Structure 1
Amino acid sequence: MAKQYVSTAYLQQHDSKLYAIFAWSQRQAEIIPAKSWLTVMEIFVHEHFLEQAYQIFQEIKLAPTVNQVIDEINKYADLLSNAIVFVADKQITIYGKGFRSFIEKDMQFELGSLSRETYQVLPQLFAHLQLEDDLEKIQNIKDFCRLVEKLENLGLLSPATGSLDWGDLKKTVPICQAFGLTRGTPVDRYYLRKFIDDIHPQVVGNILEVGGTPKDKDFYQMNPGSSYRILNLESGPGVDIVGDVHDVSIIEPNSLDSVIIFNVLEHCYAPWIAIENIHTWLKEGGKCFAMVPNAIRVHATPVDYWRPLPDAFAWMFRNFSQQKLYVYGNPITVIASYHGIAVEELTPEELDAFHPDYPVATCIVAEK
């Protein structure tokens, strides 16, 4: 089936520039630099097939603006400094009070019908911003497809409703039940490795690993420091201290230079207490190196309580004098992590792309 597209964007002008903003998102806005972007987005509001969209583009790209469009758009000129323009399937809607209009269902002005007749609404709405007039630069369907691909990669075009190809992902059981281990390396391990590579030189002195095993120590390949001890709830080979990280009395205060706690805090019934205890155990200037998964299946070992998001994780370490967050993930790796798709099945670009709204793993270096 031929690929189909639909526009999906919130547009807002600011300081004589036009931006695509991302609703309720931490992602930075994208500048809309050229008229071609608006024209192509408007076409895909109504026409979803690529070849037909290109034919429309050819027909309208040099056409003069219809007087009806100019007259209608002039009615909203005073609103645009505070408005958001919503672009979606068969819709171009001015929210006169920004997102408040969306929530309150007030001061909404629909221009979809006029757009369907002319394909000139978006360029005319923002004609005063003097965007680059690059329509003539798109001379063939290859040029058109390159722009479509760019807009899709930015999230301004999406697969049209009903055309999404789920492929192997449309199933109600995961591709791998064991985090991806049956296929290769789990995605969260990839991000943990990146974090370890960054912090490796900082882990020094009297080191405590919470919840670890000798096998983990080998995977981390940490400098053993002056001493390297492992704290665990259960006794076993290589476990130096048997105890609960919630119990502050098991470690002497101000005695540690480094604490490592990876993939443990989500299993703590009160991770904020565990972190307070680590703060107590560290010397002044000592550091805690922590990692929690954000997007991973439930794994009760022995119980699984939390998925702290980056803001929550930073709050838990608020009593430390300094902290640096490391957040990893994007929509592809969120899906991969939940489905158990392995690192080896993704490209480095797919793994390393970052989207702040889709964390897979959050790590922190916090200094007492």
Structure 2
Amino acid sequence: MADQTLHTENPLVSVIIPCYNHAHFLHKAIESVLKQTYRNTEIVVVDDGSSDDTKAVSEKYPEVKYVYQQNQGLSAARNTGVKKSTGDLLLFLDADDWLYPRGIEQNVNSFYQQKKAAFVSGTFNAVYVNENLIREGVTEVKADHYCQLLRGNYIGMVATVLFQRWVFTEFEFDTSLKNCEDYDLYLKVARKYPVYHHLDKIAAYRFHNTNMSGNVPAMLHGVLQIMDRQEPHLKTEAERTALKKGRRNWKNYYCQALLEQVKTDRNKKQAMATIIRHRPAILFKHHVTRRKKMLKTFVKRNAPDFSLRWLHKMGLSNKHVPAIGNILPGDFNRTSPFSNDFGYKRGGPVDRYYIENFLAQEAGTIKGRTLEIGDNSYTMAFGKNGVTKSEILHVNDKNPQATIIGDISHAPHIADNSFDCIILTQTLHLIYDFKAAMQTCHRILKPGGTLLLTVPGITPIDQGEWKETWYWSFTDKAMQKITAETFPGGNTNINAFGNVFAATAFLYGMGLPEVPRHKLDHHDPHYQVIITVKAQKALSL
């Protein structure tokens, strides 16, 4: 083959969207391409014999090149899209998925660094629609890509891959495969040519009831078929070892998924038959684990709590945690909290009592065009009918709910005087330049607009996602000075909530239902758990 280096500056990227009866998803897929920061794109929708409104949806967008074919399957639709496209680089986006705004730009930038790569790939978010859950699909691979792919499909989602066009002069999606055709292609290409993987987030992978990947026995059969195809091409012992490990990994992965089906009685017979054929040891392990759990549960339910508490006090057990609602004063004689998740597992954090009371009291100011950080749950809960437009700000494009991407401490792209209300709860302590964040809030509020802000005082520090950016705790005096500096001439109201019992309960991870309300309603300014700020921008300066 001739020179395979990508020489084109600002190459045309063809986004190929195969669609079979997914018209109700297609809007989002197309619009996610139109909203890309990388503008030199074309969109080719291949209608694989749909009986729904796929054509009508496609024709609403003048930028879309619509192609119809009789139903031939996903691989054939992708191959048709290749032939009908003209781009230097190709991306395949399933109709029920979508790209993040900088997805194409990030992959094209990777090609500028890896110009000889046959394809580059990034990472994705798995969006589980029924469970209302998002999980990251992130695997770091720096070298030895073929062996890594033999061990497992680290790419995971075809929309994260950007191919050079020349790849499809030698390869295509295999139409004889009923699934895993993208994995088959990755292996064929990586076996022969250099490829590159990075950790930038490219796309969202929607999981729902009609996904092909939901048929677990078929997926296992398909992926093992792909493994078998690679065996004749292996050249080294490392490759043979990788293939062997890959077979084992896939069997474990899918048989574990089937075991969940057995537990819920969904397709139980087929699931059992597949497990017995490929990984019968999983059933034995499940049986033993289940027996252990039953014994542990029996002891917990039947041993008197005072006995377990006594064992803990005598130093004979360091794992005793009092049952929810059954904490006694002596239980505080310990160096570890009852929970390390702010009390979420015990009914919810104590500090939320003060935060949500504050927002309920100020519900009348949550109106018009509002902005909230991360999500809009408080806007919807307390704003109700007064809100005309709800915006969500997130620091990056990992949050599919975000309507504005940016850092609140530096957001020049957000226009002045834009919002009637900003809800900024439990966020300022995660921002190193918190004064700049307050200045941004003042700038983007309309005259007369209101900032509703809460910050932590006495608090545990997060042990999970936020531990690396947990910079500050505040007092009411600090917030008075900060607000006076950043909201000159405005009306402000700062309050502190908490007492020694509330602070202790919060530090130990007690749940809100475990704390009597009258003890939370007593406020001692020497033990500030939450500080609330209501700051109204002056009508004129």
Query: What's the TM-score once normalised by structure 1's chain length?
Result: 0.53
2:355 match: 192
Following TM superposition, the consecutive aligned residue runs of length 4 or more in structure 1 with deviations greater than 2 angstroms are: 214-224
1:259 match: 422
Q: Which amino acid aligns with 1:361?
A: I
Q: Which amino acid aligns with 1:313?
A: M
Pick aligned residue for 2:471 from 280, 298, 305? 305
Secondary structure of the structure 2 residue equivalent to 1:191: helix
The alpha-carbon deviation at position 248 of structure 1 amounts to 3.4
**Cα distance in 1 for residues equivalent to 2:456 and 2:384:** 21
**Cα distance in 2 for residues equivalent to 1:223 and 1:310:** 32
1:178 match: 341
**Cα distance in 2 for residues equivalent to 1:264 and 1:354:** 23
Residues 222 and 310 of structure 1: CA distance in aligned 2, closer, same or farther (over 3 Å): farther
Q: Between the two proteins, what is the percent identity of the paired residues?
A: 28
Contact map agreement 1:207 1:224 (CA 8 A) in 2: no
Residues 244 and 298 of structure 1: CA distance in aligned 2, closer, same or farther (over 3 Å): same
1:243 match: 406
**Cα distance in 1 for residues equivalent to 2:379 and 2:447:** 25
2:426 corresponds to 1:229: no
Contact map agreement 1:206 1:256 (CA 8 A) in 2: yes
Q: Which amino acid aligns with 1:169?
A: F
Contact map agreement 2:366 2:383 (CA 8 A) in 1: no
Please identify the structure whose Cα radius of gyration is greater. 2
2:454 match: 291
Pick aligned residue for 2:512 from 343, 350, 367? 343
**Cα distance in 2 for residues equivalent to 1:187 and 1:225:** 28
Alignment of 1:46-195 (within 5 A): 167-195=330-358
Secondary structure of the structure 2 residue equivalent to 1:358: coil
Residues 220 and 267 of structure 1: CA distance in aligned 2, closer, same or farther (over 3 Å): farther
**Cα distance in 2 for residues equivalent to 1:206 and 1:217:** 10
**Cα distance in 2 for residues equivalent to 1:266 and 1:294:** 10
The alpha-carbon deviation at position 284 of structure 1 amounts to 1.2
**Cα distance in 2 for residues equivalent to 1:340 and 1:219:** 25
**Cα distance in 1 for residues equivalent to 2:456 and 2:358:** 13
**Cα distance in 2 for residues equivalent to 1:219 and 1:356:** 29
Contact map agreement 1:200 1:223 (CA 8 A) in 2: no
**Cα distance in 1 for residues equivalent to 2:390 and 2:491:** 24
| Cα deviation digits, residues 45-104 of structure 1 (max 9, x gap) | xxxxxxxxxxxxxxxxxxxxxxxxxxxxxxxxxxxxxxxxxxxxxxxxxxxxxxxxxxxx
**Cα distance in 1 for residues equivalent to 2:402 and 2:458:** 29
Secondary structure of the structure 2 residue equivalent to 1:344: helix
Unaligned runs of 5+ in 2: 1-327
**Cα distance in 2 for residues equivalent to 1:189 and 1:223:** 23
Secondary structure of the structure 2 residue equivalent to 1:254: coil
**Cα distance in 1 for residues equivalent to 2:378 and 2:460:** 20
**Cα distance in 2 for residues equivalent to 1:232 and 1:183:** 28
| Cα deviation digits, residues 289-344 of structure 1 (max 9, x gap) | 10011122112525100111111112111142110113210000000111111111
Contact map agreement 1:195 1:326 (CA 8 A) in 2: no
Secondary structure of the structure 2 residue equivalent to 1:167: helix
Residues 221 and 296 of structure 1: CA distance in aligned 2, closer, same or farther (over 3 Å): farther
Q: Which amino acid aligns with 2:388?
A: S
Residues 276 and 222 of structure 1: CA distance in aligned 2, closer, same or farther (over 3 Å): farther
**Cα distance in 2 for residues equivalent to 1:240 and 1:180:** 30
Residues 216 and 285 of structure 1: CA distance in aligned 2, closer, same or farther (over 3 Å): closer
Contact map agreement 1:233 1:243 (CA 8 A) in 2: yes
2:526 corresponds to 1:360: no
The alpha-carbon deviation at position 212 of structure 1 amounts to 2.2
**Cα distance in 1 for residues equivalent to 2:452 and 2:416:** 18
**Cα distance in 2 for residues equivalent to 1:215 and 1:284:** 25
**Cα distance in 2 for residues equivalent to 1:220 and 1:237:** 23
Q: Which amino acid aligns with 1:304?
A: W
2:370 match: 207
Unaligned runs of 5+ in 1: 1-164
**Cα distance in 2 for residues equivalent to 1:248 and 1:312:** 24
**Cα distance in 2 for residues equivalent to 1:294 and 1:223:** 32
Q: Which amino acid aligns with 2:421?
A: S
Contact map agreement 1:290 1:364 (CA 8 A) in 2: yes
**Cα distance in 2 for residues equivalent to 1:255 and 1:295:** 33
Contact map agreement 2:346 2:510 (CA 8 A) in 1: yes
Pick aligned residue for 2:436 from 258, 273, 276? 273
The alpha-carbon deviation at position 237 of structure 1 amounts to 2.6
The alpha-carbon deviation at position 223 of structure 1 amounts to 4.7
CA RMSD in angstroms comes to 1.8
1:330 match: 499
Secondary structure of the structure 1 residue equivalent to 2:450: strand
**Cα distance in 2 for residues equivalent to 1:177 and 1:223:** 37
Secondary structure of the structure 2 residue equivalent to 1:196: helix
Pick aligned residue for 2:481 from 295, 308, 315? 315
| Cα deviation digits, residues 259-293 of structure 1 (max 9, x gap) | 11001001001111100111111111111010011
Residues 306 and 223 of structure 1: CA distance in aligned 2, closer, same or farther (over 3 Å): farther
Contact map agreement 1:203 1:223 (CA 8 A) in 2: no
